[in-house]
Structure 1
Amino acid sequence: MNHLKEAGEHGPSVDYQHPASFDKQSGSRVERLFFNHRRIVVVLCALITIVLGLQASKLQLAASFERMLPSEHPYVSNFRQFAQQLSGSGNVLRITVATKRDSVFYPEYLEKLRKINDEVYLYQGVDRAYMKSIYMAAVRWMAVTEQGLEGGPVMPDGFDGSPAKLAELRNNIERSGQIGQLVAADYKSTIVLLPLLDVDYNTGKPLDYQALNHKLEQLRAKYQSQDIQIHVTGFAKVAGDLLDGLRQILLFFAVAIAICTAVLFWYTRCWRSTLLVVTCSLVAVIWLLGLLPLLGFTLNPYSILVPFLVFAIGMSHGAQKMNGIMQDIGRGAPKLMAARLTFRRLFLAGLTALLADAVGFAVLMVIKIPVIQDLALAASLGVAVLIFTNLVLLPILLSYAGVSPTAALRSLKAERMESEDGQHRKHPFWAFLDLFTERKWASLAVVAAAALGGAGFVVSLDLKIGDLDPGAPELRADSRYNRDNAYVVGHYAASSDVYTVMVPTPKGRCSEYSTLLRVHALESRLRALPGVESTLSFVGTAKNGLVGFAEGNPKWYELSRDQASINSVTQYAPRETLDAQCSFLTIQTYLTDHKADTLTAVSRLVDEFGAQYNSEAARFLPAAGNAGVEAATNIVVKQANRQMLMLVYGAVIILAFITFRSWRAVLCAVLPLVLTSILSEALMVWLGIGVKVATLPVVALGVGIGVDYALYVLSVTLANLRAGKRLSEAYYGALLFTGKVVVLTGITLGIAVATWAFSPIKFQGDMGILLAFMFLWNMLGALILLPALGHFLLRERASVGVGAVGGETPASLRQSGVTEQVDAGQQVVGL
């Protein structure tokens, strides 16, 4: 075997064939602290894992309507300011009971509807004062009779299902104004509307959406029959379905973990090192899941992906450490020495990469939506845990376990190919990648990247903010929920997507003619917008009152200028249209969907109308209702999207510059990431995915994962350049050391998350496609575009150091003391 040596930071050269010469006091203080106390570290980690594993069992999965609200947006501030008057108009569940017969007016249907109404009335979390159905006394009718204006509950007193009572019920419904609201226009279904409280007043506990969903499915199974179908829509049902879909999500996680394990074993042919890499990545997940309940956090349907992302990042870094140790053992180093040398080479690069990951998630904190901030904290915490489990614990465990001799020799296969019989024959695949350090291929790669980036940028200009599909885009189009939603939209003017305009007025003056005239004008403009089905306000009640005073003549369906006649009908107005003190009006706007374009058009109109007509007598404020909340969310996400990207890239650039001390090296590392970000947005446009709460974190993740690959490849390349090698030789050495693992993890993780495309949960499928694309493109960027840029930006002479890249030695290299000695065609790289 060749005589190979490697320098430590604080000691003389160490001969691979004479490990006794290795000074255990060499290396940095951090290295000596951990490796000179290995047993203590392992025991402490085992104890922490047990304790946090027990804590992880206490972690709860929950969803919260309140935590979906962009807390600092003016729309939400308006909503909260008038929350008391708006009770029952935010988080609303609709249970639509439909019949296949000609109409709902037959005793069997109405008896089932009564039982459903009475049963759901007692559900925990229902705001019973604002519950509505034709059986609730608050739903009333108004009509003109010989005695004047009369009214009463829609459901007749003493209803017994007789033909006379059925006729009376039908007459009351027609006089109530509830056709298209609570009763379908074809009389084949009615709605039980359940406003929900996010926090139960009696217990003080958050509403359990999963338990509620189970009750709703039991209700459906109990009362649904051949003649009667039940459709359930609303945020609570979506959240419940996502939480119930956890089993499918966990199944795909398990498949992804199995794929990663199998491919890693195929690469190493060593069970012990494969299992240690997987185990340390899973330990990081256990620590994260145990820390969350200790810190008062829960997992929600949007942050459920965080544990797997932590696992994926851990696998990427763990495979690099395992590969380095395996190669050193293959060269003849004992397992402890191999572990320390690999720690010495890659700790700072790995630390910088993980810090970049953490920063990528942490910048999501700029988005003032609690559910995203929870995700950012959880992901940042997970990445922080990886710094210890995968950068420290894994090398220490491998220093005990080592790797199989056969696996160690296989890891040097490419190097042996190059040095056999003194012939410098490069591995075909690595030789192909090495071509991109030459001018011809480098120019081709840069031009192709510029063309792709330009085309991708043009396509990305069409990227939308928010949902692009009707119903619940988090679920498949053919899911039960989306079929239910399509039924409601198709049969009711009052859809489940409600945008509420708030109109506060001085006390007792909400019914003034001048105010109602402006409300009427805004309603008319709203109804003219595409995507608006209907509106509801006190103006409709006032017009019906004038018709009543005119002996029911529909020609008088207009606002009366007589203030007394308007005031006389306020007592008959639906409670959701004005408050008891006549100081607050609402305009309920029912939308066909909550697509981004629909919400943007409505919000723009209301903002412009308010700017023109707001006065002391009345102000027109957006927005309440579930659609109003989503409009505010879209605005916040749009504002934060570019800001978040700038912060992520700013942080990555600073960290890369601290590591390499060279603007040239920073450009080589960052420009491939920029290309991936642009192409990812173009892919979102092509797939019809909008930027929203569920997709925004993936954008930040793509930058973090990409810089991992770039840092590992670039660090070793710069080390070789500093040792005096040409760029081609320097890059080829990096490929043999860290590049092969970049390929391994990029392809493995890409395939693993691509399996999510088959998930019944659509947003998991979307995340899988986007993550697979980012893993693969970031890998290609680090292996092709990075060396191509290096051809134009990195200098090769050791006399200028890697400051080739700027004239200074990178901090990571200065700290570790990099040397490289080549003998008989073999290479050792040390960082």
Structure 2
Amino acid sequence: MIADANSPDHTNAPVTLADFDVHSGIRLERLIFNNRIVVVMVCALLTVVMAWAAFTKLTLNASFDKMIPRSHPYIRNYLDNRESLRGLGNVLRIVVENSKGDIFDPAYQEALKKINDEVFLTPGVDRAWVKSLWTPSMRWTEVTEEGFQGGSVMPDNYDGSPQATEKLRLNISRAGVVGRFVGTDFKSSMIVVPLLDKDPSTGRPINYRALSRVLEEKLRTHYEGISANSGIRVRIIGFAKLVGDLIDGLAQVISYFGFAVLVAVLMIYFYTRCVRSTVLVILCSTAAVVWQLGSIAWLGFELDPFSILVPFLIFAIGVSHGAQKMNGIMQDVGRGMHRLVAARYTFRRLFLAGITALIADAVSFAVLMVIDIPVIKDLALTASIGVTMLIFTNLILLPVLLSYTGVSERAAKRALSVKGTPQLGGGSTLWNWIERFTERRWAIGALAISALLMLAAFIVSQRLAIGDLEPGAPELRADSRYNRDNTYITGHYSLSSDQFAVMIKTEAEGCLKYPTLIEADRLAWEMQQLPSVQTTVFLGNAIRQITAGSYEGSPKWLTLARNQDVLNYGAQQASVNNPDLFNNDCSLMPVIAYLTDHRAETLDSLVAVTHRFAEEHSTPERQFLLAAGSSGIEAATNIVVREANRTMLIYVYAAVIALCFITFHNWRAVVVAVVPLVMTSILCEALMVILGIGVKVATLPVIALGVGIGVDYALYLLSIQLAQQRLGASLAVACKRSIEFTGKVVALVGFTLAAGVVTWIFSPIKFQADMGILLTFMFIWNMIGALILIPALSHFLLKTPQQAGAKNQYLATDPGELFVGQRARAHQ
């Protein structure tokens, strides 16, 4: 389907440049190839400019807000009340351990004080909400004969003496912070550090990479180093530290990119034995990556741990399209054409298929923008920009450069010799085997096996989970420093860092009213019935303790009194030690559940309970709003991912089907092109179930990306096959020529892309390793599906009506001359 009305057929194809009409071809072809030097100079200038922008303007960072679906009702509720919930959002937890003693060692307390001061002065820290043994907000309270007594946990005159140490020990026991801020074995204590959204001194978003380095260098490395004899160990968890570790781990991405380039070079050279064409394919694909990075730098975007993988995909797609152009030119040169003529003919044959495939890729990426998570929207935008750049670098610049350099004579001759004889059944055993799938017996067998595989995979894929399936931070390896720290903290503190909070919104002073506290108490009780909930905390708990303390500690008064004065007094006393239990005017009160983990099923069960309670018990006087806390935010994210998962695939396939129909003008050809993609998608979901990979922000885009890249294979193969069939060739002959002209390159590209990303499985970043496994699988299966299922499906849907003598006539036709003009359409 690629040429114009004036495309010459095989009988008069010019061989020399003198025989070629430079004014032939479509207007775009004439504009490009009649101004080749201008095209090269403009592209070279753009490459320099984009490279400068990429190296000087592009930064690597991440944002807490970009990781959450801001328009989801749960997240809107959290953001609307964020200022009153500083301890339930982006929080660092720093645990300082004394591995050779306990927290009452004066040397330990001196180190803890210095670490607390370092953290307090760190840019981006919300200092008013920092809490540790050394902050005044950590207080104790006790009931005496004279009433309540209290004060800061850390004695004002603490000097490390035995008397001061004993007083500290007493204050800790009276404050009830063991298991929350002090380890259950008394060997560590915790500093809770809420973070601001922006650095107040610069007004810019917090640089998590810089913050992570400060934590590593000024805290962990410094204090563990100078205090080696005292056994100080610093453990840090929280979103900011997680992102910092991810960014540090991405330093290996450069080496993986280099490996992918090396693999592409070796495999393409092994196939072509031509240095110049191999170098040009790699250079043009790399130029597309440079253009992409430069463009997003000019637009003011940042790279994050998720979009950093996009350059790999752009390079991979570029190699795929570049290899097809290189292969076409190489074959034409081998038949005696001048390199410029070969470049123009290849441009005519493959430009429509190439640009349609790239548009399909771009649309597949762009569809990800329907997912209401900013980090995925950024990934979709940057990937779409990169694919757009490939139109210029690999569909236009590469043929132009090859029209200057040509290919080596040895490579050109080899390109023809590896195709085998021009007779049906000739060539290598592998390609003969693929041709057999155009026969009924083989086609039925292939489709039957495929149907069974799809059915089995579909059944398995029904168990595909949404969200995290492992404790800790699944973005990192289980043995990473972050997850080791998380394991330690989980094992030594009775309250986990996985918090799920329901916000109760009332009028001013409304959270102190008896009906509100009773309803909050009922909610807390229902949450506690779930085995995944360790405990719940809300204002009513503190009021109970204060009320009982006011009556000589009698357990009969561990209740919520109906008397408003009693409730007011209890809340006033509670606010001294726990100011985060309600906001300043008592119009917002969180009910916080501490969870055993943040697995998908844990969050789903808790959301079900709290959502039902909120619907049944919300009134105009009090609203139960979901959800805050790290697990509340993750629960909302899981909901958005679950809803977007199928919607995204529907949009992706709708776009691919529409583009295929525009290209082929034949619904049967669309079915032939899309079925292998559907099979690969279902198999990929089954593989995720088998490997224990859940659908989440990191893995959600993978299947869409696989569909977008996989359709390239079908477009190239079917374009040539249908062109031959429209000229009257039998299905077997058309399939053979399609495989000879583009099929072998499809196989080459499939293995090249798979070999390039398979190294990701060694990445310290778990989600990158997961993406490497899934993309490798999809690259291979898309390639296999295209080479086997397209011939098999074509037997039933695209079989050419047999014409007398057609078989022998088209067997003699040079398979390189695959032009389709308007005259060929008359045979349709």
Give TM-score, length-normalised by structure 2.
Answer: 0.95
CA deviation after TM superposition for structure 1 residue 443, in Å: 0.3
CA deviation after TM superposition for structure 1 residue 527, in Å: 2.1
Query: Are residues 537 and 781 of structure 1, via their aligned partners in 2, closer, same or farther at CA, if it must alter by over 3 Å?
Result: same
**Aligned match of 1:563:** 564
CA deviation after TM superposition for structure 1 residue 525, in Å: 1.8
Say whether residues 1:352 and 2:356 are aligned partners.
yes
Contact kept in structure 2, 1:71 and 1:368, CA below 8 Å: yes
**Aligned match of 1:485:** 486
1:182-221 equivalence runs, <5 A: 182-218=181-217, 219-221=219-221
Question: CA-to-partner distance for each residue in 1:547-596, whole Å, 9 max, x for gaps?
Answer: 20221234543323333222112223311111121111111222222211
Larger displacement relative to structure 2 (767-776 or 616-625): 616-625
Larger displacement relative to structure 2 (88-97 or 226-235): 226-235
Q: 2:392 aligns with which of 370, 388, 391?
A: 388
**Aligned match of 2:498:** 497
Amino acid at match of 2:21: D
**Aligned match of 1:782:** 786
Query: Are residues 361 and 114 of structure 1, via their aligned partners in 2, closer, same or farther at CA, if it must alter by over 3 Å?
Result: same
**Aligned match of 2:6:** 10
**Aligned match of 2:826:** none
Larger displacement relative to structure 2 (313-322 or 619-628): 619-628
CA deviation after TM superposition for structure 1 residue 425, in Å: 2.7
**Aligned match of 1:43:** 41
**Aligned match of 2:125:** 126
**Aligned match of 2:83:** 84
Contact kept in structure 2, 1:329 and 1:338, CA below 8 Å: yes
Q: Output the CA distance in 1 between the equivalents of 2:381 and 2:813.
A: 51
Q: Output the CA distance in 1 between the equivalents of 2:244 and 2:425.
A: 62
**Aligned match of 2:98:** 99
**Aligned match of 1:808:** none
**Aligned match of 2:719:** 715
Number of residues of Structure 1 aligned to a counterpart in Structure 2: 805
Q: 2:769 aligns with which of 740, 765, 768?
A: 765
Larger displacement relative to structure 2 (99-108 or 629-638): 99-108
Amino acid at match of 1:49: T
1:317-336 equivalence runs, <5 A: 317-336=321-340
Amino acid at match of 1:147: E
Larger displacement relative to structure 2 (161-170 or 604-613): 161-170
Say whether residues 1:72 and 2:71 are aligned partners.
yes
**Aligned match of 2:825:** none
The secondary structure found in structure 1 opposite 2:367 is helix
Amino acid at match of 2:636: A
The secondary structure found in structure 2 opposite 1:829 is coil
CA deviation after TM superposition for structure 1 residue 540, in Å: 1.5
Larger displacement relative to structure 2 (141-150 or 732-741): 141-150
1:242-261 equivalence runs, <5 A: 242-261=246-265
Contact kept in structure 2, 1:755 and 1:768, CA below 8 Å: yes
CA deviation after TM superposition for structure 1 residue 8, in Å: 6.4
**Aligned match of 1:55:** 53
1:176-575 equivalence runs, <5 A: 176-218=175-217, 219-224=219-224, 225=228, 227-415=231-419, 417-419=420-422, 425-554=426-555, 556-571=557-572, 572-573=574-575, 574-575=578-579
Give TM-score, length-normalised by structure 1.
Answer: 0.94
Query: Are residues 689 and 7 of structure 1, via their aligned partners in 2, closer, same or farther at CA, if it must alter by over 3 Å?
Result: closer
Contact kept in structure 2, 1:424 and 1:825, CA below 8 Å: no
Q: Output the CA distance in 2 between the equivalents of 1:474 and 1:736.
A: 43
CA deviation after TM superposition for structure 1 residue 616, in Å: 2.9
Q: Output the CA distance in 2 between the equivalents of 1:723 and 1:174.
A: 89
Query: Are residues 824 and 350 of structure 1, via their aligned partners in 2, closer, same or farther at CA, if it must alter by over 3 Å?
Result: closer
CA deviation after TM superposition for structure 1 residue 19, in Å: 4.1
Q: 2:27 aligns with which of 23, 29, 48?
A: 29
The secondary structure found in structure 2 opposite 1:703 is helix
The secondary structure found in structure 2 opposite 1:585 is strand
The secondary structure found in structure 1 opposite 2:151 is strand
The secondary structure found in structure 2 opposite 1:203 is coil
Amino acid at match of 1:55: A
Q: Output the CA distance in 2 between the equivalents of 1:87 and 1:116.
A: 21
Query: Are residues 101 and 8 of structure 1, via their aligned partners in 2, closer, same or farther at CA, if it must alter by over 3 Å?
Result: closer
Alignment gaps of 5+ in structure 1 = 1-5, 803-819
% identity of equivalent residues:
53
Amino acid at match of 1:107: P
Q: Output the CA distance in 1 between the equivalents of 2:428 and 2:369.
A: 45
Query: Are residues 102 and 616 of structure 1, via their aligned partners in 2, closer, same or farther at CA, if it must alter by over 3 Å?
Result: farther
Q: Output the CA distance in 1 between the equivalents of 2:555 and 2:183.
A: 22
CA deviation after TM superposition for structure 1 residue 205, in Å: 0.5
**Aligned match of 2:689:** 685
CA deviation after TM superposition for structure 1 residue 626, in Å: 1.6
Question: CA-to-partner distance for each residue in 1:419-450, whole Å, 9 max, x for gaps?
Answer: 4xx89633211101001110011001101111
**Aligned match of 2:817:** 828
Contact kept in structure 1, 2:561 and 2:567, CA below 8 Å: yes
Contact kept in structure 1, 2:730 and 2:802, CA below 8 Å: no
Q: Output the CA distance in 2 between the equivalents of 1:340 and 1:523.
A: 73
**Aligned match of 1:593:** 597
Q: Output the CA distance in 2 between the equivalents of 1:693 and 1:481.
A: 20
CA deviation after TM superposition for structure 1 residue 211, in Å: 0.8
CA deviation after TM superposition for structure 1 residue 469, in Å: 0.8
Query: Are residues 144 and 423 of structure 1, via their aligned partners in 2, closer, same or farther at CA, if it must alter by over 3 Å?
Result: closer
The secondary structure found in structure 2 opposite 1:503 is strand
The secondary structure found in structure 1 opposite 2:190 is strand
Q: Output the CA distance in 2 between the equivalents of 1:513 and 1:101.
A: 49
Q: Output the CA distance in 1 between the equivalents of 2:535 and 2:100.
A: 27
Question: CA-to-partner distance for each residue in 1:450-490, whole Å, 9 max, x for gaps?
Answer: 10110000000011111111111110001000010011111
Contact kept in structure 2, 1:493 and 1:534, CA below 8 Å: no
1:108-123 equivalence runs, <5 A: 108-123=107-122
CA deviation after TM superposition for structure 1 residue 228, in Å: 2.1
Larger displacement relative to structure 2 (441-450 or 820-829): 820-829
Alignment gaps of 5+ in structure 2 = 821-828
RMSD across aligned C-alpha pairs, in angstroms? 1.8
CA deviation after TM superposition for structure 1 residue 506, in Å: 1.4
Q: Output the CA distance in 1 between the equivalents of 2:594 and 2:314.
A: 41
CA deviation after TM superposition for structure 1 residue 202, in Å: 2.7
Question: CA-to-partner distance for each residue in 1:128-183, whole Å, 9 max, x for gaps?
Answer: 01111011111211211222122221111111112222222122222223222111
Q: Output the CA distance in 2 between the equivalents of 1:727 and 1:183.
A: 75
Larger displacement relative to structure 2 (575-584 or 122-131): 575-584
The secondary structure found in structure 2 opposite 1:593 is coil
Query: Are residues 756 and 353 of structure 1, via their aligned partners in 2, closer, same or farther at CA, if it must alter by over 3 Å?
Result: same
Q: Output the CA distance in 2 between the equivalents of 1:798 and 1:366.
A: 47
Amino acid at match of 2:530: L
Say whether residues 1:149 and 2:153 are aligned partners.
no
Q: Output the CA distance in 1 between the equivalents of 2:782 and 2:335.
A: 31
Contact kept in structure 1, 2:733 and 2:811, CA below 8 Å: no
Say whether residues 1:694 and 2:698 are aligned partners.
yes
Contact kept in structure 1, 2:141 and 2:174, CA below 8 Å: yes
Q: Output the CA distance in 1 between the equivalents of 2:124 and 2:814.
A: 73
Question: CA-to-partner distance for each residue in 1:321-343, whole Å, 9 max, x for gaps?
Answer: 00000000011111000000000
Q: Output the CA distance in 2 between the equivalents of 1:221 and 1:553.
A: 49
The secondary structure found in structure 2 opposite 1:754 is helix
Q: Output the CA distance in 1 between the equivalents of 2:311 and 2:319.
A: 12
Say whether residues 1:703 and 2:707 are aligned partners.
yes
